[in-house]
Structure 1
Amino acid sequence: MSRMHNPAHPGEILKEDVLPGLGITVTEAAAQLGVSRVALSRVVNGRAGVSPELAIRLAQWLGGNAESWLQMQMQHDLWHAERKTTAKVRPAKRTEAA
């Protein structure tokens, strides 16, 4: 399975689709989710990732499942990590026991 080219940060989905669709602000969403406005703002603006706890809250709030939020975050993080990693790691070799 090939990975999506530059997957969206989950916060981008919240910022561009979810909040406008509900017609609410980050402050109102944070109150409904039971998190601080600052914490949600950091996610919405891509400065923090979706934690497992926030994923559960988002799933309860919007329906769906927490795994989908964590999957989005993982795909985003992995795509960016693959582009930043410069280390060349050789495959592991089994050593012969003496």
Structure 2
Amino acid sequence: MSESQIITNEKLPNIHLPNIHPGEILKEDFLDEMNVSAYHLAKEINVPETRISEIIHGKRSITADTAIRFSKFFGTTAEFWLNLQNLYDLEEETNNHSLEFETIIPINIDDHKLIYR
């Protein structure tokens, strides 16, 4: 593999993009694109409209239950919605606790015998 094909963190510019809540993706890439209202989505997937509104406004996470309902309605997978939420949550935690996480010292595997049972 040529050097130009290898990408490492050292070669990437330090660009910080905003963390996008999955509700924003739901609103812009699904509801707006399909001309579907939050009210209509809520009725079709049998959830309170407040659940959809809170997700859209970033005040609520997408749960497994909601992910399954979205997947049935939009023809996606539940994993798609859960992955969006997980990526968002990981980025939030990384941003909010980065200094604390930097204090964690990795284990030296050579110094420890790992026992698998």
TM-score (norm 2): 0.70
Deviations 1:78-98, CA, capped at 9 Å, x for gaps? 011101113222234667xxx
Structure 2 runs not aligned, ≥5 long: 1-7, 10-15, 113-117
1:56 maps to 68
For residue 17 of structure 1, the aligned residue among 29, 38, 47 is: 29
* Rg larger for: 2
Measured on the aligned residues, the alpha-carbon RMSD in Å equals 2.3
What is the alpha-carbon distance in structure 1 between the residues aligned to residue 35 and residue 107 of structure 2?
A: 53
Structure 1 runs not aligned, ≥5 long: none
Structure 1 residue 64, shift from structure 2 partner? 1.8
Aligned length: 95
TM-score (norm 1): 0.82
